Structure 1
Amino acid sequence: MKILAINGSHRKGRNTARMLEAVLEEARSLGAETELLELSDYNIKPCRACNHCLRAIECSIQDDDIKLITDKMLIADAIVLGSPVYFFNVTGLMKNFMDRTRWLHMCRNVLYGKVGAAVTHAGLRNGGQEFTQMILERYLASHGMIVVDSRDQESGIYNYGPTGTLFERLEGSRVIWKKGVEEDLLALHECRTLGKNIVRQVQLLEASSIRRGPVVANTPSSPFSC
């Protein structure tokens, strides 16, 4: 079982990366093979809207690093996306990456049947995490992936997704900030539970023989001829 985490933060190894690592740590403890990919390490050119991917399952841009990333996505059983929230949305890095994976969706959902999940982090307590989480999960669902959440089946519902914040409390009118997501115990608990739920979902798919390969001939096709 291979689980790939993709970090859309412009700052490597910080709060969003730590959340993704918590997901992967739990998955590894259950026997999964994991990898954390930092988008900031890669050269990804913007989509140029040439619409080549309406006619072929490929991207016309061949001189950057997107294929290195999509090759990893194709062999993964599960993909976890993470993005900090800078202005009520995914980061520019993450959005550029999402646009460049359009070729995996337009003719056919090439990632169909894989497991998907997402985590978000922001400074403010209500800094756009839920909206950004919805964007990431909708992106995964649009690729035909099975999206799992962080509900703790044993203990109950604590939150509707791994959404971290640096906001701690107010003292008068002064904001007290957490030093990092390590102090957000709920967010890290949600991440660990998400890792467990991802492994369980992949195991269920494998056991029921629903698991698909990278390219599936009988997935729903688009109205475009490919």
Structure 2
Amino acid sequence: MKVLGINGSHRPGKGTAALLKAALDAAAEAGASTELVELAQLDIQFCIGCNACLGRTSCTLSDDMNDLYEKMRDADAILLASPDYFGTVSARMKNFMDRTRPFHMVENVLKGKLGGGLATAGLNNCGAEGTLELIDHWLATHEMIAVHPRPKGPVLAPGAIATGFAGLDEEGRPQWRSVKADPIGFDLARQMGLDVVEMGTRLGY
């Protein structure tokens, strides 16, 4: 089983990448082959609205998205990770989503693949619901099967969201931490990786 992780953060290798890597590492431990792609390290142009993809499953633009199209075709599961920017995904992630239009206009090329969303935010294990919601909508548009991680025990968060808020000091001022120090978000990310492989195994991927 192949699991592809795509990081939409403008800062490669930082908190959002670490959250995504936690999911991919768990998937690898469960037997999957994994790959993490940093959109910030790729040359992906904006969709120009030429509408050529109304008649084919490829794009007229020539850039690094072409290699990413092939990685997505080969993957059994695709995980998208993004920091929360004003209640939604980063502009870099949205641009990637726009460029997947050729995989939808003639046929849903990604139909039946597994998928999931992860996010980082400032508030305490919340605040990124809009980000995860847009990722879920993207998955549904492509007729993918969305995986929502659920560790055993009490419900702790609405999804795999790692946050930087560390509470208030004695004077009521917010204290901050690295999102890497959020145990709940990373537990959910690892569960995401395990659940993707478990579901893939059940479905025969």
Taking structure 1 as the reference length, the TM-score comes to 0.87
Structure 1 position 38 matched with structure 2 position 38: yes
User: Matches of 2:96 and 2:175 in 1, distance apart?
Assistant: 34
Aligned-pair identity in percent equals 43
Q: 1:123 to 1:158 in 2, by over 3 A?
A: closer
User: Matches of 1:56 and 1:4 in 2, distance apart?
Assistant: 24
Mapping for residues 4-23 of structure 1, pairs under 5 Å? 4-23=4-23
Structure 1 position 120 matched with structure 2 position 119: yes
For residues 176-196 of structure 1, the C-alpha deviation after alignment (integer angstroms, 9 at most, x for no partner) is 111x12210000100011111
User: Matches of 2:134 and 2:127 in 1, distance apart?
Assistant: 11
User: Matches of 2:159 and 2:49 in 1, distance apart?
Assistant: 33
Mapping for residues 156-171 of structure 1, pairs under 5 Å? 156-171=154-169
Post-superposition offset of 1:157: 2.8
Post-superposition offset of 1:127: 7.0
Structure 1, unmatched stretches of 5+, are 212-226
2:191 maps to a residue whose letter is T
Q: The residue matched to 1:97 in structure 2 has which SS?
A: helix
User: Matches of 2:124 and 2:191 in 1, distance apart?
Assistant: 21
Taking structure 2 as the reference length, the TM-score comes to 0.95
Q: The residue matched to 1:109 in structure 2 has which SS?
A: coil
Mapping for residues 1-226 of structure 1, pairs under 5 Å? 1-61=1-61, 63-125=62-124, 128-152=127-151, 154-171=152-169, 172-178=171-177, 180-206=178-204
Q: Which moved more, 1:114-123 or 1:49-58?
A: 49-58
CA RMSD of aligned residues (A): 1.3
Q: The residue matched to 2:148 in structure 1 has which SS?
A: coil
